Amino acid sequence: MAISLLDAAELAELKRELADWELTPDGKAIVRSFKFRDFVEAFAFMTRVAVLAEEQDHHPEWRNVWNQVDVLLTTHDADGVTARDVALARAMDTAAG
Ligand code: H2B
């Protein structure tokens, strides 16, 4: 399935709207680190996101250590950042509260 990478205008919009996310040095992914009160809060967040990811058929690469969840979003099908990553990033920001 062809899905196109973000263009320059969409990247600028991403920087503005998803200010807590940053582009990786190779420009192929966006990353954000979420912090919670404790492990239970972090895992509850991951559970909420798991449901959203299934709904969107788009899945995060992530790592959890106690109260922290480090997330990397990329679209494997496109080898870079697409609107699907932006949609999931937005949903994760909302899910984090
Ligand atoms: N998640 C991410 N992050 N990138 C993808 O390209 C992707 C995915 N593709 N989740 C989806 C699933 C694809 O493999 C299925 C078959 O739709």
Structural domains of the chain, ranges and CATH numbers in brackets: 8-96 (3.30.1360.20)
Pocket test for ligand 1, best of 59, 73, 79 (most atoms within 8 A of CB): 59
Q: How many angstroms does the Cα of residue 37 sit away from the middle of ligand 1? A: 30
For ligand 1, what atom is nearest to the CA of residue 59?
Answer: 1
34-49 residue pLDDT tens: 999 999 999 999 999 9
- Residue 43 CA, chain-centre distance (Å), reads 16
Mention every residue, 6+ apart, whose C-beta is less than 8 A from residue 58: 75, 84, 85, 87, 88
Separation of CA 58 and ligand 1 centre (Å):
5
Backbone Cα Rg of the chain:
13
Q: In this predicted structure, what is the pLDDT of residue 47? A: 98
Q: What pLDDT shows up at residue 2?
A: 74
pLDDT beneath 50, residues of the chain: none
In this prediction the pTM is: 0.95
What is the structure's pLDDT at 1? 58
